[in-house]
Structure formats: C-alpha cells, structure tokens
Chain A
Amino acid sequence: MWIAALAMTFAFITGAEGPDALPSARVLQIGSTQSMEAPPFSFYGAAQSDKAGNLFFHISAGSYRRPVVLKLDRSSGDPTLYSLDDTDMQKAVFRQFSVTPAGQVSILCQMTDGKFYVLRFSSKGTLLEKIPMDLPEQLSTESFVAFDSGTFLLSGFYGGQAEPELRGKGFMALFAESGKMLKKFSSAESVDLKSVSQRISEGGATVGPDGNIYLLQASQVLVISESGKIVRRIRFQKPGSASAVKIAVSQNLASIWLLKAGEKKSVTADYLVLDLFTGKPFGYYVPGKDLGSAAIAVSFTSHEGFTFFDTQNGHVDLISAPLK
C-alpha cells in the first residue's frame, strides 16, 4: 500500500504519470464569420498567427518547395508577402517557417548547396538577413520556432542518407540570433524511418504567453525556456491514426491539432485542448458538418475558440467556432 502511495507521489513530482484518457468529443459549431477581401488561395501545412491574431500561411506558389509566406492582417485584411527574388527562389527549398509573438517572420530553407539558412524578414516583407546554419544536410526538420529576441529552436531527425549510426535519431538544438548553436538537447525524439513517411509529418512549436517554447512531439509537449531548460513535460493521448501537427497556446489552454488521413485520402482534424494548470485534457473537439467536410482550423485562442479558413463564397472567410 505504502509502496503504491510512494510511487504515485514520485510520479506526480516527476511528471511521469501516464497521460489522461481522451474525453468524449464535443462538436464545434459556427459562431461568427469574418469575410475577408482576399480571393481564394491554398496553403501547405498549418497556418500560424502572432499575438495580434494576424494569420500567416505557407501559400501555394506552384510548389511546396517555394519559400513564400503570406500574412493576412486580421483587422484590415491587407496582405504582406515574405519571399525571395527570382534568383534566390530557384536555389531555395522551403523547410519550415516561424512567426514570433510580435509577428516577425523567419523561413528555414535548404539551398542547392545543401546548406541551411534562416531567412529573417522585416514587417514589410523585406529580406533582412540570411543566416547560415551549421546543420547536417541529411536533417529532416520537424519544428522551427523563433523568440522575439531572435533566439530559435529547431528539431528534426537524421534521414536515411546520414551515417548509419545516426539514421532516425532525433536532433534538437537552440540557436542564437547569429545562427550559432547554443545548446544541443540529448532528449530529442528518434523516429522509425520506415514508418515516418507513411503518415502526415508530426511536430510543431510555438512561443507561449509565458515566454516559453511549447514544442509538440508525437505524444508529449515539452515546455522549454529561452535559456534552453526543459521546464515541463505534458503527456497526452491521441487516436492511434492521428498525427500531432500543430500547437497553439492561449492563456491557460494549449490546443493540439490532430490530423487524420481518411479513406479517400482527405485530411480531417480533431483538436485536443489541454489545461496547462493541471496538464489534463480540457476538451476534445471535432468540427461540425457546417464547417465543411475537411475543415482545418488556422488559429486558436481561449476567448475566440478555433478559427477556420473557408473559400466557398469566392473569397476567404474566417469562421470562429467557440469552445463549449
């Protein structure tokens, strides 16, 4: 008896207790719609937002590899494009992008010479600097997130072209604004290279209102301070077929996008919201039918709930679906 009590106390202190089971699903319904002037466009992967609620998309400019990010101002609907000139564009392959809470855009690219660069842009979309990164060429990136200070964190894994002993091994490091590596973490998650490409790519990260990075892994969230200390681990459960692809943090809530590929290869998303005070599930949400057959949210806040992107009326509509 006392051994069990001791074990539970130890688990609570170390945060090593298992994740809580998923709560029953609640259906998200349309709350309000904000019509934007922008004509329909498509984008790749998860959209991002800054603390003002502006939305940022890796917009489809012909190919996934093209490093083009579009900002839509949430109040005016005005666009800003973050991109390269034609010459650089031909040499760059998009890997990830990050938007800081203040709205600065950085794009992680790999160039034809195999080298990685972080492209940092002004608020008007002008390229400010091209920061060379000392990263292995065979790295497959999963998460890239920048602080307002310029420090950034990058995680991924070594691909099949890496040295045999590195293949599938995880990589996670914190970098200074200059691109210099400040800290390499030993706790990076490894992957099974045979199965990793069979599902939608997992991983995401954001800077929370407390100034920490919330790094999303397959079944846990790592909370990392700007100095590189892992301050917390929050484990979560998800349906077996789902990929955890994006995390958003607002006040005491963290929302995790769980994507599933359907039978017809459509993509659907459910949302697990965690209470950061307790580390336990706050709710599990599925989009209602009125949001469309393939509704994928573009942002989340605790007061507005989820915002969905739709184009069925010939322009972009942002549809809010509050939490219940």
Chain B
Amino acid sequence: MNKKLFGLLLGVFVIWGSTIAFSQCGDHIKQTFQTCGGHCGSVVRLTCEGVGSNCQDDTGDLGFGCCGLMLFEPGGCGFAGVTRPRELPPSVEFAAFKEALVLRKKPTLTGTNLPAIASCGDNKNAFNQWLEAKLKQRQVSR
C-alpha cells in the first residue's frame, strides 16, 4: 500500500516537475543558431526570449530573458563540448557565460566598458587580446 502510494506520489511529482521544467520558457522560446564556421560545426540553440521568462539555467538574471536548451553537433570549436540533448542545465551556454564572466574579471580592456568575447579556438582570450590591440592602435593613430 505504502509502495503504491509512494509510486503515485513520485509519478505526480515527476509530471509536475517536468511541467515546471518545460514551461519555464513558455512559448517565448525562440530557436536560433550559433556558428563558429562550417568546419567547427554549428549550434542549434533554443533561446528563451522576453521579460518574465524564468531562467532554467541561471544564464540570465532570475525572471528575465534566458537561454536554455542547447543542442549541438560536436565539432572543433572550443565551446562545442559534449551536451546532452533534451536536457536543460547545465548548458554550454551557461558554461560559456561563466567563462565570459571569468574573462570579464580580467582587466584586459582597462578603462573601457567593452564586453568580454570568448574566442571559439583553443585560446579563449584570443579575440579579446586582438580587439584590445586593435583599439589601442586606433587610439594612438588618432
């Protein structure tokens, strides 16, 4: 009897949990893609849009536009790690975001408000370093 009751409760909990998980993004979900070149493979990304969408994976501020499901064909890009289709967290988006946050803490672009852009090669900071050098070069020439 107890087992049956436990099973029933578990079933209800799972259904309820699934509903919550998949209704987080509601129909604000938007499917777009991310690419880093034909040979690196490309990314299919389901991205929640809109104010009021809860963030399943903490990629945005709570209760504010978020990025969720990540589906990917593994390739040569740095961000193209193994992901588990049909699962929300932890997404590569979140990993990339964390990576960007780490980069953000490095004062590579002192005195500017430029965002950190993670390069999709081996050296994650390659793009930032190049951008910084280019901007300094432009400032000097002015």
Stretch of B1-9, B11-19, B45-53 at the chain-chain interface:
B45-53
* Beta-carbon contacts under 8 Å, B76-108 to A: 76-77, 79, 85, 93, 96-97, 99-101, 104
Q: B-contacting residues of A (Cβ < 8 Å)?
A: 37-45, 59-66, 68, 70, 78-79, 81, 83-86, 89-90, 93, 95, 110-114, 137-138, 140, 159-161, 193-194, 196-201, 259, 261-262, 264-267, 287, 291-296, 308-312, 314, 316-317
Query: What's the Cα separation between A185 and B129 when bound, in Å?
Result: 47
Tell me the minimal C-beta distance from A80 to chain B in angstroms: 9
Residue from the list A41, A66, A312 in contact with B115, Cβ < 8 A:
A66
**Cβ–Cβ < 8 Å partners of A267 in chain B:** 33, 35, 42-44
A312 pairs with B30, CB closer than 8 A = no
Residue A140 contacts which of B30, B60, B97 (CB distance < 8 angstroms)?
B30
Contacts of B10 in A (CB 8 A): none
Q: Which residues of A contact B116 (CB under 8 A)?
A: 61-62
Question: Does residue B136 face the partner (Cβ distance < 8 Å to A)?
Answer: no
State whether A41 and B52 are in contact (beta carbons under 8 Å apart), knowing that A201-B32, A259-B33, A294-B42 are contacts in the complex: no
Q: How far is the CA of A287 from the CA of B115 in the complex (A)?
A: 33
Contact partners of A291 in chain B: CB under 8 A: 38
**Are A200 and B32 interface neighbours, CB within 8 A?**
yes
Can you add 9 more A-B contacts, CB < 8 Å, to A161-B28, A287-B38? A39-B126, A63-B96, A114-B51, A197-B29, A200-B32, A293-B38, A294-B35, A294-B41, A312-B37
Known pairs A60-B96, A61-B100; A265 contacts B44 (CB<8 A): yes
Report how many residues on chain B are interfacial, defined by Cβ distance under 8 Å: 65
**Known contacts A39-B121, A110-B50; is-contact A160 B127 (Cβ 8 Å):** no
A11–B114 Cα gap in the complex (Å)?
Answer: 54
Grouping DSSP codes into helix (H, G, I), strand (E, B) and loop, the A interface class, with mixed when no group exceeds half, is loop
* Residue contact B65 to A65, C-beta cutoff 8 Å: yes
Inter-subunit contact B49/A62 (CB<8 Å): no
The reply to whether B119 and A40 contact each other, CB–CB distance below 8 Å, is: yes
Q: B29: which A residues are within 8 A, CB to CB?
A: 197
Taking the closest CB of chain B, its distance from the CB of A95, in whole angstroms, is 7
Chain B residues near A86 (CB-CB < 8 A)? 113
Give the distance in Å from the alpha carbon of A161 to the alpha carbon of B51 in the complex: 11
A65 to B29, CA, bound (A): 13
- Closest A residue, CB atoms, query B40: A311
Contact B66 A45 (CB under 8 A): no
State the CA gap A194–B60 with chains docked (Å).
25
